[in-house]
Amino acid sequence: MFIPLLNVHWYTDIMKRQVRTKVIHTENCFSGSALVFGLVFFMACFFVPATGSAINRTDYQRFQAEIIDHRHRLNRAFKKIRRAETRYIIVHTSELGLSATLRVVSEGKRFSSGHSTPGGHANYVVARNGDTYRILDKQFRADHAGLSMWQGRQDISSVSIGIELVGYHSAPLTDQQYRSVAMLIDILQNVYSLDDKAVLTHSQVAFGRPNPWFPKNHRGRKRCAKNFDRSRAGLGPGFAFDPDVRAERLLSDPYLADLFYSPKPAVAARVPATGPVSNLISRKNSAWAIAGEDYSSKSTVYILPNGRKLTGDQIDDTVGWHLLPVNTRVLLNQETQTEKILDPGSPVKIITDRMTAWSHAGPAYGFDSTIYFLPSGRVYTGSFISDWDDLPQNTRLIVGYQGPFFITGEKTAYGIAGQKFKDRATVYFLPPGHVKTGDKITDFSSLPRGSRIYLPLDNLVPG
């Protein structure tokens, strides 16, 4: 039987363990009596995550062989330290798109003050399409959990493997991610003899120091991976309570306690794909509720409704926390070399390395009223976009629009948009691929053939 070289270590470990309650790989199915073989092969040789088809040994071999080696991009300043023991697997959401995630976890974060981190912030990254990247060999300590505690043990980074899922804690993860992370977790569990309760999210293990809301050390510092659905990753139930809160080592964060330890529906069932966006400031959704203790961090970015960007450490001295506008968007884990916005009030947004379609539009990224103008000149509505991380950089987008309305000899810009044809909110697509707002066009008599107009949904189209 051929076993790829990349599989040798985990294959050997699996062979040493004859039975696991969650999965028995096919290489263990060819022992014992014919009756046992038949029953085991039929019932236990295939691992079936909640969201996909059965995963067999061939799938595991293919998955392991196709892991993308990204270790060569690791910051040379990062010091590799072998873990003395491995107790946990910690799941994160990166709060970024794929390209930025890979850069940050490998090369480190860069801050406007000139400070930077040496990278090595995860062992693995799982992309939205299921592609899995090896950032740092599993034997080495990744700097991923920060200030953390579980069962009285602090510095969880020193006893755990870190897995980053590309995405946001307020957004659904993909079926492809769950399928890949299910296999990755299962392989690592076999290597390190870990049960399902050893798999935790960053939001579960992170803790914060005393602050105006909490007089003692407390949970709630992170919201990272609060949307991770254990069942979709093929995992059994986790802890029914927070051991450090029960032991009075930490104060409870009411939101996370309700999310992880109450007898309500599964976590992901309460992180909807549509409806109210949970990273928007509202009367009921404060900066603390969204970001936890990162609310005032330099790596938390606030995008005000007028397009202005501020980092968490700037809010108190500029806007003021009590005056932070409703519908301000909160983005976590951002580098604070904040990109300059040439026209903050423009309805036309740009997808960049740091700002994805989800950053700009939330769940509305997939709506017909969200229009994408690709660098190639192609134009798509959100319903044609399979995932927010699939769009190329420099794609323009507008959210909450209707159209296109084509300008012709009979239909002028004024005839379509009325007196608003020169407004900033009126968006023009000018072949071969220019996107402009009405206030940026000086000569409406010479618009190129095939020009189109897009109007806000609340505008009535004349005629």
What stretches of 66-206 show up as alpha helix (H) in DSSP?
A: 98-107, 175-192, 202-205
Q: What is the identity of the amino acid at 185?
A: I
What's 110's DSSP letter? B
22: exposed, middle or buried (C-beta count within 10 Å: 0-12, 13-18, 19+)? middle
What domains sit in the chain, N to C, each tagged with a CATH number?
Answer: 68-270 (3.40.80.10), 281-338 (no CATH), 359-456 (no CATH)
Tokens of 461: 């189209």
Positive or negative torsion for Cα 456, 301, 330, 357: positive
Among residues 359, 393, 358, 427, the alpha carbon closest in space to that of 99 is found at 393
Euclidean distance between CA atoms 5 and 154, whole angstroms: 36
3-class secondary-structure state, position 107? helix
CA angle 276, 226, 53 (to 5 degrees): 95
Euclidean distance between CA atoms 98 and 125, whole angstroms: 9
Tokens of 207: 């803790």
Residues facing residue 148 across a β-bridge:
206
3-class secondary-structure state, position 16? helix
Euclidean distance between CA atoms 385 and 100, whole angstroms: 20
The more confidently predicted of residues 276 and 52 is: 52
pLDDT tens string 138-179: 999 999 999 999 999 999 999 999 999 999 998 999 999 999
What stretches of 23-137 show up as alpha helix (H) in DSSP?
A: 34-44, 57-65, 98-107
pTM exceeds 0.85 for this model: no
Q: Quick one: the chain helix, strand, coil %, rounded to 5? A: 30, 20, 50
Q: Say what percent of the chain tops pLDDT 70.
A: 82
Among residues 458, 320, 457, the alpha carbon closest in space to that of 402 is found at 457
- Structure confidence at residue 115 as a pLDDT band (50, 70, 90): confident
Euclidean distance between CA atoms 327 and 280, whole angstroms: 5
Buried b (16+ CB within 10 A) or exposed e, 312-351: bebbeeebeeeebeeebbbbbbbbbeeeeeeeeebbbbbb
CA distances from 176 to 50, 53, 166, 241, 304 (A): 12, 11, 11, 29, 33
pLDDT tens string 195-253: 999 999 999 999 999 987 789 999 999 999 999 999 999 999 999 999 999 999 999 99
Q: Say what percent of the chain tops pLDDT 90.
A: 66
What's 179's DSSP letter? H
Phi, psi of 456 (to 5 degrees): -55, 150
In the predicted structure, residue 15 carries a pLDDT above the cut 60? no
